[in-house]
């Protein structure tokens, strides 16, 4: 029973951390407007990823590549 309570507390803490991060992201985008140039750059990056011209890594692949695993 004690273990379940501890797990639930950890889950609650993680959810609170995620909520704080999401709020910071939302605040950033509310304060900053994307310019046409920003949008064009984002579109170019997305297209490069889709076409294979830009390598996309999963989190696990990035950790391994950087020697963090």
69 and 39 within one domain: yes
Residue with token string 């830009």 = 54
41 and 12 within one domain: no
User: For residue 63, what are the domain limits?
Assistant: 34-69
6-10, 27-31, 43-47, range with the lowest pLDDT? 27-31
Residue with token string 């004690």 = 2
38 and 21 within one domain: no
68 and 49 within one domain: yes
Q: Are 63 and 69 in contact (CB under 8 A)?
A: yes
- pLDDT, tens only, 39-58: 899 899 999 999 999 888 88
Say how many domains are in the chain. 2
43 and 25 within one domain: no
Residues 6+ apart with CB under 8 A from 45: 54
49 and 21 within one domain: no
67 and 39 within one domain: yes
Distance of CA 34 to the CA centre of its chain: 19
């Amino acid at each position: 029973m004690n273990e379940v309570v501890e797990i639930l507390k950890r889950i609650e803490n993680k959810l609170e951390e995620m909520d704080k991060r999401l709020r910071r992201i939302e605040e950033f985008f509310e304060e900053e407007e994307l310019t046409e140039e920003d949008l064009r750059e984002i579109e170019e990056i997305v297209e490069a990823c889709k076409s294979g011209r830009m390598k996309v890594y999963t989190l696990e692949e990035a950790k391994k590549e950087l020697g963090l695993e």
